[in-house]
Amino acid sequence: MSIHIGAKENQIAETVLLPGDPLRAKYIAETFLEGAEKYNDVRNMFGYTGTYKGKRISVQGTGMGVPSISIYITELMKDYHVQNLIRVGTCGAIQKDVKVRDVIIAMSASTDSQMNRITFGGVDYAATANFELLKKAYDTGVEKGLHLRVGNVLTEDLFYNDNSDFEKWAAYQILALEMETAALYTLAAKFNRKALSILTVSDHIITGEVTTAEERQTTFNDMIEVALDAVVK
Ligand SMILES: O=P(O)(O)O[C@H]1O[C@H](CO)[C@@H](O)[C@H]1O
Ligand SMILES: O=c1cc[nH]c(=O)[nH]1
């Protein structure tokens, strides 16, 4: 086991879905995976492995924010040799033409986190999705008839941020705000692994629109099926 994941080495698949919420990990395992078995409950950050359309897949909660996801994905790649990492998260939209319930594929992630500046001595790093996973997810979403958006998101350190200038970020074509993707893409690059972030718009920062719990469930299912069907393609 690693420091934060209590699995034996062979208990985690080479492809892992990564929701922030550990209860979303449980929901995904129970709803979409056959024969799912829980391999982690350290800190209640649940992780499960099962099969989807015959392919072995794991799902691991990451917690919220760059420090938390960085711990889990580092251990998944370093100690469990995970190759494909797909975040299935929520985000807040800041473009008027991005609506709640839309699914966003993050091609890249800007960030106000110090993580990359610490790593690269004050220089900015362009955190970028794996193109192969991105194309498969995009093609899958189009086949399902989903309203997909692909572009740059902002990974923020603060959910409650008194100083965030949403209009400026929107003017620079940021689609939505969330809290983990820049770390996922940067660390996947460090370990030469494939990563993608797929996000459901749960709320709209500008219009104040929010999704109901029921709507969230349906659109989460769309997003999860895009992730799962993309990796079995
Ligand atoms: O729904 P998840 O995957 O947790 O993602 C979003 O929700 C959390 C904030 O409520 C942050 O982790 C943010 O990135
Ligand atoms: O990080 C997040 C996630 C959802 N909604 C937001 O406004 N921010």
Residue range 1-54, pLDDT digits in tens: 899 999 998 999 999 999 999 999 999 999 999 999 999 999 999 999 999 999
79 is in an annotated binding site: no
Protein residue with least CA distance to atom 1, ligand 2 = 178
For the entire predicted model, the pTM comes to 0.97
Find the residues whose C-beta lies inside 6 A of ligand 1.
19-21, 64, 89-90, 159, 178-180
Check if the beta carbon of residue 16 is closer than 8 Å to that of residue 59.
yes
Q: Encode burial over 55-83: b for 16+ CB neighbours within 10 A, e otherwise.
A: eebbbbbbbebbebbbbbbbbbbebbebb
Question: What's CA 132's distance to the chain center, in Å?
Answer: 16
Q: What is the pLDDT of residues 177-210, one digit of tens each?
A: 999 999 999 999 999 999 999 999 999 999 999 8
Of 179, 184, 203, 211, the residue with max ligand 1 atoms within 8 A of its CB, to mutate for a pocket test, comes to 179
User: What CATH architecture is 15-232?
Assistant: 3-Layer(aba) Sandwich (3.40)
Residue with tokens 């993309």: 230
Of all atoms in ligand 1, which is nearest to the CA of residue 178?
Answer: 14
Q: What is the pLDDT of residues 110-119, one digit of tens each?
A: 999 999 889 9
Check if the beta carbon of residue 105 is closer than 8 Å to that of residue 88.
no
Domain locations along the chain: 15-232
